[in-house]
């Protein structure tokens, strides 16, 4: 995955260049195109991943796994409808862990399960909070649209500070236990600095799209294809896309219908992030199972 991160760096700088030459409205449209293509695609094959896990481990019946997946999706929808503030907090926590797990799971270092989980969580939350603190006005507007509550910029700053301390202590612990990680952590520091620049100069959607697509979705797609088909080739990528196409189309059509129905209500961002959240909850669980299954395989 390190080789792809080198590509991601180049793509990120291209993203910065696009930010400099495109007007804001076109930049936002391009950001949504990336999110609705690669972003939605990377979460469209959860059912196939679950089926692959069941076939490899021969544990729970597939029908039981599928039922659990559907229940999680419906639960997310219900929570967003009745308890939107709770849903937003859970979405941030789940997304943070998911981003961190995808980024760090294949890094070559040994640590206890609890320490790795803390690293996944605090790293992912740090990236998200970095985005929030760089785009506070847009984040406040989105949160108010979803929850009806007006959070303050001070709250965003305090949350970022607390998360930074927790993330810093976790990294310090790892360095003290594994001094050979210092070089790797310097590289990670460069990535975070690059994220900060991207988040600061772009709009909320464009900044999120650059990170979400180049640093998360595409690496996740590579991971999933390798897990399902044993290797990443043109044929396996084509097979993956064919399997994902029906779910991807359903997602796109569903989102398009919601946008059309509520196009004049000013709820677009609320619907967009609520939709992303509804599929993030089960997707996070599926990818966690994927990584656990890989560890148990000979």
Per residue, the 3-state secondary structure of the chain, as one string, reads CHHHHHHHHHHHHHHHHHHHHCCHHHHHHHHHHHHHHHHHHCCCCHHHHHHHHHHHHCCCCHHHHHHHHHHHHHHHHHHHHHCHHHHHHHHHHHHHHHHHHHHHCCCCCCCCHHHHHHHHHHHHHHHHHHHHHHCHHHHHHHHHHHHCCCCCHHHHHHHHHHHHHHHHHHHHHHHHHCHHHHHHHHHHHHHHHHHHHHHHHCCHHHHHHHHHHHHHHHHHHHHHHHHHHCCCCHHHHHHHHHHHHHHHHHHHHHHHHHHHHCCCCCCHHHHHHHHHHHHHHHHHHHHHHHHHHHHHCC
Give the tens place of pLDDT for each residue, 35-68.
888 988 888 888 788 778 777 665 566 667 667 7
- What tokens were used for 2? 């390190």
- What tokens were used for 272? 């967009």
**Which residues lie closer than 8 Å to 140 by C-beta, 6 or more apart?**
150, 151, 152, 153, 156
CA angle 116–120–123, rounded 5-degree value = 125
Question: What percent of the chain clears pLDDT 90, i.e. is strictly above it?
Answer: 42
Question: Where does the pLDDT of residue 134 fall: very low under 50, low under 70, confident under 90, or very high at 90 and above?
Answer: very high
What pLDDT was estimated at residue 161? 97
- What tokens were used for 184? 């790797």
Q: For the chain, how big is the Rg over CA atoms in Å? A: 19
Question: What percent of the chain clears pLDDT 70, i.e. is strictly above it?
Answer: 90
Give the tens place of pLDDT for each residue, 26-37.
998 899 899 888
Give the tens place of pLDDT for each residue, 67-126.
777 787 778 777 877 888 888 898 899 999 999 999 998 777 777 889 999 999 999 999
What pLDDT was estimated at residue 36? 87
Of 91, 155, 85, 97, residue with least CA distance to 126: 97
What pLDDT was estimated at residue 117? 93
Range 135-150 average pLDDT:
88
Give the tens place of pLDDT for each residue, 7-21.
999 999 999 999 999
What pLDDT was estimated at residue 220? 92
Between 288 and 237, the more confident residue is 237
- What tokens were used for 208? 């999120």
Report yes or no: 149 and 120 within 8 Å, Cβ to Cβ: no
What pLDDT was estimated at residue 167? 96
Residue 274 has pLDDT above 80, yes or no: no
């Amino acid at each position: 995955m390190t080789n792809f991160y080198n590509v991601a760096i180049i793509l990120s700088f291209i993203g910065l260049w696009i930010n400099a030459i495109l007007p804001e409205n076109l930049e936002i449209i391009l950001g949504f195109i990336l999110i609705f293509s690669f972003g939605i695609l990377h979460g469209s094959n959860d059912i196939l991943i679950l089926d692959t896990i069941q076939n490899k481990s021969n544990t729970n019946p597939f029908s039981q796994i599928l039922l659990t997946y559907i229940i999680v999706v419906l639960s997310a929808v219900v929570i967003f409808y009745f308890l939107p503030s709770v849903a937003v907090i859970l979405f941030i926590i789940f997304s943070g862990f998911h981003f961190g797990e995808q980024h760090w799971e294949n890094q070559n270092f040994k640590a206890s399960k609890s320490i790795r989980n803390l690293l996944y969580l605090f790293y992912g939350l740090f990236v998200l909070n970095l985005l929030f603190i760089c785009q506070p006005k847009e984040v406040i507007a989105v949160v108010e649209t979803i929850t009806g509550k007006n959070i303050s910029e001070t709250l965003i700053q305090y949350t970022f500070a607390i998360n930074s301390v927790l993330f810093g202590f976790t990294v310090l612990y790892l360095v003290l236990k594994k001094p050979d990680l210092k070089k790797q952590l310097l590289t990670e520091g460069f990535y975070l600095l690059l994220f900060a620049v991207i988040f600061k100069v772009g709009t909320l959607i464009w900044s999120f799209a650059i990170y979400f697509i180049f640093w998360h979705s595409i690496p996740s797609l590579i991971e999933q294809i390798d897990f399902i088909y044993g290797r990443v080739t043109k044929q396996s990528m084509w097979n993956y896309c064919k399997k994902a196409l029906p779910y991807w189309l359903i997602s796109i059509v569903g989102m398009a219908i919601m946008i059309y129905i509520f196009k004049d209500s000013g709820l677009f961002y609320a619907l967009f992030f609520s939709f992303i959240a509804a599929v993030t909850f089960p997707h996070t669980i599926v990818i966690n199972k994927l990584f656990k299954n890989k560890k148990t395989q000979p």
